[in-house]
């Protein structure tokens, strides 16, 4: 079985591995498959994704549907957190989301989200030394390929050490 962390790392510099990552993501997250979301670029703590302007992403007036915009916001921020933190050490789960819509999307949508080492340290790593869980707000802007600001998402992620996760039996 392919290690997702290794594949993600290789996809930073290899087109072949980026295609493999995108294929794997459609299998791991089948809900997102109809949207056709593609990871187009990966940095050390950043991800750029593309939401195609296609029928399955349209609303009733052929604009990009609000739910598709929310989905790509969640997807992109989640990938950055998953790729920036040790997934064997930390559990990441979305707590809530708030979206603001500014402009009607009528073409492909591009989304980039990034965090810094300092942000991770200040907002996740250090607080988890004394707290059971932290909630981080990942604010993300979506723009169409012409540069129009389509929406702003605030995706709130709960992060906690796996050793602190309690589930019902």
Instruction: Tell me the pLDDT tens digit for each residue of 110-133.
Output: 999 999 999 999 999 999 999 999
Query: What is the per-residue pLDDT across 39-57, written as a single tens digit (0 to 9) for each?
Result: 999 999 999 999 999 999 9
Residue 24 domain flag: yes
Instruction: Answer whether residue 2 shows pLDDT above 70.
Output: no
Query: How far is CA 154 from each of CA 12, 49, 94, 113, 123, rounded to the nearest angstrom?
Result: 26, 17, 11, 12, 15
Separation CA 146–CA 144 (nearest Å): 5
Please report which confidence band the pLDDT of residue 1 belongs to, taking 50, 70 and 90 as the band edges: low
Domain count of the fold of the chain: 1
Quick check: 90 and 161 in contact, CB under 8 A?
A: yes
Strand residues in the chain grouped as ranges (E)? 38-42, 46-51, 90-101, 109-114, 133-144, 149-161
pLDDT value for 149: 98
pTM of the model: 0.92
Separation CA 10–CA 42 (nearest Å): 10
Question: If you average pLDDT over residues 126-145, what whole number do you get?
Answer: 96
Residue 21 domain flag: yes
Residue 169 domain flag: no
The parent domain of residue 64 ranges over: 4-164
Q: What's the CATH number where 56 sits?
A: 3.10.129.10
pLDDT value for 164: 86
């Amino acid at each position: 079985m392919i290690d997702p962390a290794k594949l993600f790392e290789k996809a930073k510099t290899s087109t072949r591995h980026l295609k493999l990552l995108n294929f794997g993501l459609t299998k791991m997250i089948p809900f997102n498959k109809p949207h056709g979301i593609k990871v187009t670029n990966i940095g050390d703590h950043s991800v750029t994704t593309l939401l195609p302007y296609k029928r399955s992403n349209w609303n009733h007036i052929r604009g990009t549907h609000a739910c598709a915009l929310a989905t790509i916001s969640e997807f992109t921020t989640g990938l950055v957190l998953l790729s920036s933190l040790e997934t064997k050490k930390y559990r990441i789960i979305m707590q809530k989301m708030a979206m603001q819509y500014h402009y009607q999307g009528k073409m492909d949508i591009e989304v980039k989200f990034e965090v810094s080492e300092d942000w991770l340290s200040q907002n996740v790593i250090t607080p988890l030394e004394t707290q059971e869980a932290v909630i981080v707000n990942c604010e993300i802007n979506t723009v169409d390929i012409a540069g129009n600001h389509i929406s702003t998402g605030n995706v709130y992620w709960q992060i906690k050490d796996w050793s602190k996760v309690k589930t019902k039996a």
